Structures are given as structure tokens and as C-alpha cells.
Chain A
Amino acid sequence: MCLHHKLFLICLLFFILTGCWDSHDIEELYMEIGAALDKPKTSTLRRNKEQNQIKLTLQNISPTQLPSESDQGNKKKKYQNLTGVGDSVLEIFREFSLKNDSPPYGQHLKVLVIGEELLKEKNLQILLSLFNRSLEVRDSCILLVAKGEAAKTLKISTDIPAFTLIGIGENESHSANLLPITTNGKATRSMANDENMAIQSVSTKNGKIKFNSAALIKGGVNRLVGYLDEDEVKGLNMLTGDIKGGILKGKDPKTKGLIAYNISSVKSSITPYIEGNHLSFDISIKSVGRLNEDGVHAGNAFSNKFIHRTELAIKEETERLLNQTLTRLQKQQKLDVAGFGEQVRIHYPKQWNHLKRNWDKYFSEASIKLNVSITVEDYMVKGKKEISQ
């Protein structure tokens, strides 16, 4: 191999050393971790009402911004909130890059909160279209609905509000009042199907936050049409079987004492029946759990009699919750978010094609039969409080 060849090859090696075209320095990234969409206040609206329909609040963190151990004292915020208004979400993003030296970076956006005012007026699918089409934001981003202003949820007085929101959302094994997480991908899928959705909603008060209800989104129009309160959310979770933990409170039929039942598992099955024009459902809910706390002084959990009483108490409570939820969904909202339609689609695929267009109407007229069974498996380390006799 002659010298020229060698030199040529050595020069080629320089190409290996060139950097990546798409590299970003991590110090220069402003990572979005949370975003909130709101309807702007009327004062910010321009004369033409078609303008500035969306207000976007972004919560960013930057590795260089995080305060070091030494300046913990001066209480510097760990995050930065940016706000902008515009007609489209993308437009607002582009605005941000005119106002900041490094534009926001969306790969780590974890939570998206949508304000109730905006969601009542605008189709969720249109609001999410940028987030779904672009690749920066992943489909695993969590969706929440804010009662009141969504921007406030990113201003609550915790270390980094967006992370608090995510953390609470994942507490499903501690509470039966939380809906399973709705991700961006899941919402998109439901909307593509024209399905109704229930999304976890949150409310803020004095800088504190609580996950306390569910927002009902009507499929097709994809707008907010109502809420379920905490009890109804529990009932809805029972119907869908999406419960990983949490408690149910019942009253002992004999002494009226309190009984707290810790849910270990819930299995639900919804079976549709179509006879002629009549639609009916059998719901069977089987729950297994443990007796966690009771206010019945003489209760002796070593005896099956008392266990049966607790089971009865919890069964009554479960039925009450279910009936409340079903009344709300069937009679008041006339909206199926518990997957009744899906069961019809699975069991009666041919009939479903006729039913699906007016499904909510058929659902509201269907008759539903409940069948609840509760099993108290154990009572932890203490069986009774006093030695009777």
C-alpha cells in the first residue's frame, strides 16, 4: 500500500470523528415536564374572537437551573413556567422560541392538564392534534382535566408541581377513587373510535391539589359534558374492575358500627343480552379483600358470623355505589363510559353496527341486573378487641 493510499485512508478516519448532526447539549435543554391548556381570559382576547383561543402554560426544568445544595437557603424555584396565547398550540411553541434562548424540548413531557372551560368549547382531538402528530411528545404522556384553571395545577406549592401530579396519578393501589391513568395514546384511541371517556380531573384550592373527580368526555364531539364525584368514580372503577387497592366503608347491619374493608382485588364482568329490541346487562362483581378497621366493639373476626356480617355490610355499600354511578351514567348523563358498548361489540358484533351510532341512547334505556359478591379473606394481625363472656 503506497503512501498516498495510507494518507487517503487516514483522512477518511476524520469522518468518523465528526459529531452527530442532531446533537443537543443537555445543559442547553429546557425540558418540558408539564403543560396546561386553558381558555384565555376575555381581557386577553383581541377584538376578533377567532384569535388567541388557547393559552398554554409550560413547566420547564433545566439541568443548569436546578439549585445546588449550597443555595437551598434562598428558596429558588426548581422550575420555570412559561405562558403564551395563540390559535394553535404549535404557534405558541414557536412564540416561546422567540422569547427564550433555548426552545422547549418536548421529549420528556409527562403530564398534560386541560382546563374545563377550554374542554367545554373545543374538541379534545383538535387540542391534542399537535401533541399526537409531532414526535416529541410521547403517547405515554398523562392526561388530566382541571376543574377551573389548568395553569393553577402547575403552580401548586410543591417542589415541582408536574411531578406531584404524576406521583398522585400513580397512587392507584392506595385509593379506589382514582381512575386508571389516561395516556395521550389511550385518549387518541378512544377518540378514533368515537368512544366516550372518563378522564381523571383535579381541582386546586389555595395552592393545594386534589384528585377528586372524573371528567366525562362525550365521544364524537370530544367535549366535556359532566363530572362524576368521588363516590361515582369508585363505582365506575368497580364496574370496570380497574381497582388495585383502596378501602370501602360499610355499616355493620347489627350494631351500625363502622367497617373498613381493604380491597385486594375486584373482578367485574358485564354480559350483554339482546332479545328482540330489548337490551339488558348482567353485571357480576366479585371482590376479595381484608377487614382493616372496624368500629364494632364486640366484633369477633375469629368467628365466621362476624365475617359474614362485614361481607354483607360491604356488599350493601358496593351496591349503593354501583347504583349511584349507574343512575348518574344512565339516567342523568346518558353516557356510557364503563365499557358496556365494548361488551356488546364483542358479543353481538353484527347488531353492534346498528347500535353504535345511537349507543348512548340505547344504553340509557337498557335494564341492568347487579350481582355483587364480597369475600373477606382475612383480618390482619388482630381478630378481636375484647375477650367476651
Chain B
Amino acid sequence: MIKQKDQITTAQAIVYISSHMTAMGILTLPRVVTSATQTPDGWLSVLISGLLLILFSMVLIKLCQRFPEETFYQFSQKIIGKWFGILLSLVLIIYFLLLGAFEVRGMAEVTHLYLLPRTPFMATVVPFICLGVYLIVGGINPIARLFDILLPPTILVFLIVILLSLKTFEINNLRPILGMGVLPVVKGIQPTALSLTGIESMLVVFSFMKEPHKGIKAATIGISIPLFFYIMTTIFTIASLGVAGVQTKTWPVLSLFRQFEYTGIIFERFETFILAIWILQIFTTFVTCYYIAVLGLSQLFQTKIKPFIFGLAPILYLIALSPKNINDVFHFGNLLGYFGLLFILPIPLMLLLIAIWRGKKHVSAS
């Protein structure tokens, strides 16, 4: 079913994972974490949950490595039987659809607020989805190549702008480290779920990897890049806004970049740059979700992929516009975070154990 040319290199897999992980979560992460910790130690929570995630991803990759050329939709049927497999696959498809729609909505909210206040939602959402359709018609290769192009400017702009925010950096806001003991850090781990989901895309994308044995390496590096973003963002935002200030802002990270301006050089304000690269990263996440969902449908029904691509677009639009207000959007995001975690640890672990127990393994055709 997968054509020979539909393969991605290990480097592309790394870029894929990190592009998928960097999304909505990063803009609200400092607030969400600090609300739980109530101390400046939020960045430690992010670090710990990132390391845990790398650990979890090994289970997931191990499972995929037993079936190197098959997607989750195919191997789950082999492991737990046809009907349970289809059921689980449908759940995964629904998850990715919801996540994709959520990213679109988040993009629309922020654009509406910060960039284009008088432009209706439709005018930003429709082109966004259409571009996604255009990209995924080409399959995994154009997607992976586009991600390759988008990641370097993202890292560059992010680093420059975050270092410019040193102007309002106050080290006292980060002190004391572990002043209230370890408990706040532990409390902060759980709310990072939404930001750290993304590795579950490997359940499907892994089947495209040219060198499946390098899966763990790809996952580890792929997670480390966004993890670095997250830790930097959390540290700088808390240092600039303070523990109490972070909790009062809707989009603390964007508020951080509005704290300062530089006069005398060509650009005075920098949040626009962050928004630009952030929208690119939202696009990558959205495209991945969309692609994985339609690929799943086509594999489940064993039909062509194109009708699903075009058919899902209006559904995505409707889901994206369904949350009534911004708080609903945030709740939606939280739920998705936990939903995603389900596919990162418990389900792969269960499948892996059953697969080992029943001795299920991919038998190569040769």
C-alpha cells in the first residue's frame, strides 16, 4: 500500500516530531505550569516531564519497531483483533481530527487578537485549511520537506527574539529554586500534557522511516528540540513577568514580547516575528494531524485517500468553530492533552505487552 518513494530519512523524522510538538501549548505553557506550581520552579517541571516523555517514547517506538512497515491502523488489528483494532484506530483518527481543528482554532484566536482584529475568522481559517489540503494531497514527502524548510528559521527567530527579552529579565523572579521543596515541581508535571503531546504521531509516521532501527534516536532528538524551546520560554517568561504576573495573562508568552521595545534599530517590536513563526509551527502540527487522520481513514476503508482529504476539510472547519469562547478553547486543549497522553503511554504499552505475549511481529515479505 505504501509506495516505495514514500519514505523519510531519520533527519526528516526528527524535524517531523519536533514540528508536530511545537504548537498551541507553547503560548500558554508558562501560565498553565505556574498556576500549578505557584513557585518559580515551573521550568523544572517542564524539564522533568520532557525527560519522562523521552522515556515513554521508547515504549512507543519499540512497539512500532515490531511492525516497521505498518501504521498503527494496520498493526493494531493484528495485535488485538480486527474489531478492537478498528475501534482503537477510529479513536486515534478522531483524536487527530480534534487536535487539528483545535490548532486551527487557536491560530484563528491569536491572529484575531493580535494581528487582524477586524478580519473574520472565516477569512483566516479557510485559507489555512485549504493550504493544508493542498499540501497533503502530495503525501508524506512534500510534508516532510516543507517541515525541513520551516524548522531552521523557527529556531533562529525564536532564539534571537527570546534573547532580546533579556531587557526585562529579572533573575530575582526565578529565585529561590526549590524554595518550597519538590512538591510544587511534581504538581507542575501533569499540566504540561498538552504542550508535550506530539510523539503519538510516530504511531503512524514511523512506518515511513527509511531506517526504522534509528527510531529511538529520532524520537529522543525530536523531543529534545521542542523541549529546549519550552524550557527557555518558561524561564524567560517567569523571569520577566513574575510568578503572579504570568498567571494573570491569557497568552503570557506573547505578553513577554510586548514588555519591551527597542528604538533605533530597524524593528522596534518583536512579537510579530514570534507570531509569524508560531503560525508556521501551528500549520505543521495541523497538517500532520490532518494527514494522519485521512491516512487512517483510507487505510481502514482500504480506499483512495483523496476523497477523505477533501471530505474532512469542512468537518475540520466546523469542529474548529464549535468552541463558543476562548475558555472553551482552553478546556478543549486540556482534554486533548490527556487524550494524547493515552496514546503516548498506556495504549502503546498495552499493545506492546500483548504483542510480546502473543508473539506478534511483522514478517518481512522477502
Contact = CB atoms under 8 A, between A and B. Distances in A.
A207 interface: no
A21 B118 contact: yes
B118 A22 contact: yes
A3 B356 CA distance: 60
Contact of A22 (B116, B175, B244): B116
Contacts of B260: 140
A253 interface: no
Contacts of A22: 115-119
Contact of A135 (B113, B243, B259): B113
B52 interface: no
A346 B168 CA distance: 19
A22 B117 CA distance: 7
B123 interface: yes
A189 B180 contact: no
A297 interface: no
B195 interface: no
B123 A138 contact: no
B176 interface: yes
A194 B242 CA distance: 12
A185 B258 CA distance: 8
B255 interface: yes
A347 B261 contact: no
Given A21-B119, A188-B248, A342-B172, A193 B180 contact: no
B246 to A, nearest CB: 9
A138 B258 contact: yes
A349 B176 contact: yes
B255 A139 contact: yes
A139 B176 contact: no
B59 interface: no
A90 interface: no
Interface string B113-153: 11111110001000000000000000000000000000000
Indicate the member of A339, A345, A350 with the most B CB atoms within 10 Å.
Answer: A345
Interface in A131-164: 135, 138-140
Nearest to A347: B176
Contacts of A350: 179-180
B179 A140 contact: no
B116 A21 contact: yes
B172 A346 contact: yes
B29 to A, nearest CB: 18
A183 interface: yes
Given A21-B123, A183-B259, A350-B180, A189 B118 contact: no
A71 B243 CA distance: 53
A192 B241 CA distance: 10
Contacts of A183: 259
A185 B176 CA distance: 22
Contacts of A185: 168, 241, 245, 255, 258-259
B113 to A, nearest CB: 6
A186 B240 CA distance: 9
A346 B171 CA distance: 11
Nearest to B262: A140
Contacts of A339: 172
Given A192-B247, A193-B245, A342-B172, A140 B261 contact: yes
B123 A188 contact: no
Nearest to B117: A22
A185 B170 CA distance: 13
Contacts of A140: 258-261
A139 B260 CA distance: 7
Contacts of B113: 135
A193 B118 contact: no
A208 to B, nearest CB: 26
Interface in A289-339: 339
Contacts of B247: 192
Interface string B273-316: 00000000000000000000000000000000000000000000
Interface string B223-254: 00000000000000000011111011000000
A188 B245 contact: yes
A112 B113 CA distance: 23
Contacts of B119: 21-22
Nearest to A184: B259
A243 B241 CA distance: 22
A138 B269 CA distance: 10
B175 A346 contact: yes
A189 B249 CA distance: 10
A188 B258 CA distance: 13
Contacts of A192: 242, 244-245, 247-248
Interface string A1-38: 00000000000000000001110000000000000000
Contacts of B179: 345-346, 349-350
Contacts of B258: 138-140, 185
A294 B245 CA distance: 47
B142 to A, nearest CB: 20
Nearest to B180: A349
Contacts of A347: 176
23 contacts: A21-B118, A21-B119, A21-B123, A22-B117, A22-B119, A135-B114, A138-B258, A138-B269, A139-B255, A139-B259, A140-B258, A185-B245, A185-B258, A188-B245, A189-B242, A192-B244, A192-B248, A193-B244, A194-B244, A345-B179, A349-B39, A349-B179, A349-B180
Given A140-B259, A339-B172, 16 more contacts: A21-B118, A21-B119, A135-B114, A138-B258, A138-B269, A140-B258, A185-B168, A185-B255, A188-B248, A189-B244, A189-B245, A192-B242, A192-B244, A192-B248, A193-B245, A345-B179
3 A-B pairs with the lowest CB-CB distances in the bound complex, closest first: A349-B179, A189-B245, A192-B244
